């Protein structure tokens, strides 16, 4: 029995603006993610906001490269308008480990920068299937270490947090876990995990969580999409109990940073996030649970036209506020 076998207090349908987004997507008669090659997925997803005006102004935006385990890692550094130095949030974008980039997550990065009054370093980690597990993990950890060791280069004040959504929520959780476990691990003050994937076990993918079944179809991320992402990122079941792939399965979650875990009612990953919050709490980690029962997966990045959902703004405001309270 998996950890999240319990009921979830939720409304009967998504919010009206989420329903409008879903209806608009259905009317376009687009192919499903799992029907496409990874490069086609990337082109389609990156094109959603092509040419859009920035959702918010920040003090400065700089693209740069930092050393990684197998070549340089591109990052985008967002600096607030307020006087620094600032805390730094290392941010990992979602996209199933197959697509996504700082470009595609520009809007949430800007809103987090302003809301948390922190420098946000958005990491363009390597993607599967060209670079499967553990390549993105090692990029995520290398970026965290570099930021922690080069605070002056990004306008940091010595306080570092991690954050991410979906696959990026996994990488944020795993980076925090690696920082605790490894001898060279930096201090991480906080982790903000938005609908993270935390359990790659076969019985999890096969319906071990109620939300995998309840929300398998019709709410943007589908069960078939999840299988597609899993197969590209971690095709061998040999890895699936590795805590750097499935952080829920870490032997202990004690001494990990305080956390915000945000989940959405109509998301297949809802119960994985809840299970991770339970695991952190059981091992004495201070956890803030943010539950949005009328929202869907991906809403963190639905904060500008043509997909502008008020609940996405609310979620970002809450997560940014938690980071601000924890880091200042």
Positions marked active-site: 166, 267, 297
Q: How many residues does this entry show for the chain?
A: 328
DSSP codes of every residue in 253-266? -TTPPPEEEEEEEE
Asked if residue 80 lies in contact with residue 59, where contact means CB atoms within 8 angstroms, the answer is: yes
Asked if residue 251 lies in contact with residue 212, where contact means CB atoms within 8 angstroms, the answer is: no
Tokens 């609310």 belong to which residue? 314
Q: Which residues pair with residue 296 across a beta bridge?
A: 266
Q: Rounded CA gap, 14 and 154, in Å?
A: 39
Q: Rounded CA gap, 103 and 122, in Å?
A: 9
Helix locations, the chain, DSSP H: 16-27, 38-46, 106-116, 135-149, 151-154, 167-181, 202-203, 210-214, 223-233, 270-282, 310-327
Decide the pairing of beta strands 190-194 and 259-266.
parallel
Measuring CA to CA, which residue among 196, 69, 166 is closest to residue 125? 69
């Amino acid at each position: 029995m998996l950890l999240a076998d319990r009921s979830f207090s939720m409304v009967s349908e998504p919010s009206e603006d989420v329903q409008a987004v879903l209806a608009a997507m259905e009317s376009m008669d687009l192919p499903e993610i799992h029907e496409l090659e990874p490069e086609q997925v990337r082109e389609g997803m990156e094109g959603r906001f092509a040419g859009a005006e920035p959702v918010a102004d920040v003090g400065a935006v700089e693209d740069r490269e930092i050393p990684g385990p197998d070549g340089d890692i591109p990052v985008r550094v967002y600096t607030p308008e307020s006087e620094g130095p600032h805390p730094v949030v290392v941010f990992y974008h979602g996209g199933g480990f197959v697509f996504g980039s700082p470009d595609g997550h520009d809007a949430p990065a800007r809103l987090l920068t302003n809301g948390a009054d922190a420098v946000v370093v958005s990491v363009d980690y390597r993607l599967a299937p060209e670079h499967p597990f553990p390549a993105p993990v090692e990029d995520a950890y290398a970026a965290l270490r570099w930021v922690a060791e080069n605070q002056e280069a990004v306008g940091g004040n010595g306080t570092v947090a991690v954050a991410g959504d979906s696959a990026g929520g996994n990488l944020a959780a795993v980076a925090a876990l690696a920082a605790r476990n490894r001898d060279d691990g930096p201090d991480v003050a906080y982790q903000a995990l938005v609908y993270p994937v935390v359990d790659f076990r076969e019985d999890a993918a096969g319906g071990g969580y109620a939300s995998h079944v309840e929300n398998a179809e019709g709410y943007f991320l589908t069960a078939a999409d999840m299988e597609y992402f899993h197969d590209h990122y971690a095709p061998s079941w040999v890895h699936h109990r590795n805590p750097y792939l499935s952080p829920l399965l870490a032997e202990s979650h004690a001494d990990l940073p305080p956390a915000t875990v945000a989940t959405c009612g109509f998301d297949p990953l809802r119960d994985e996030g809840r299970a991770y919050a339970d695991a952190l709490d059981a091992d004495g980690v201070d956890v803030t649970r943010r539950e949005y029962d009328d929202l869907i997966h991906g809403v963190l990045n639905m904060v500008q036209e043509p997909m502008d959902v008020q609940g996405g703004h609310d979620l970002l405001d809450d997560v940014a506020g938690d980071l601000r309270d924890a880091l200042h």
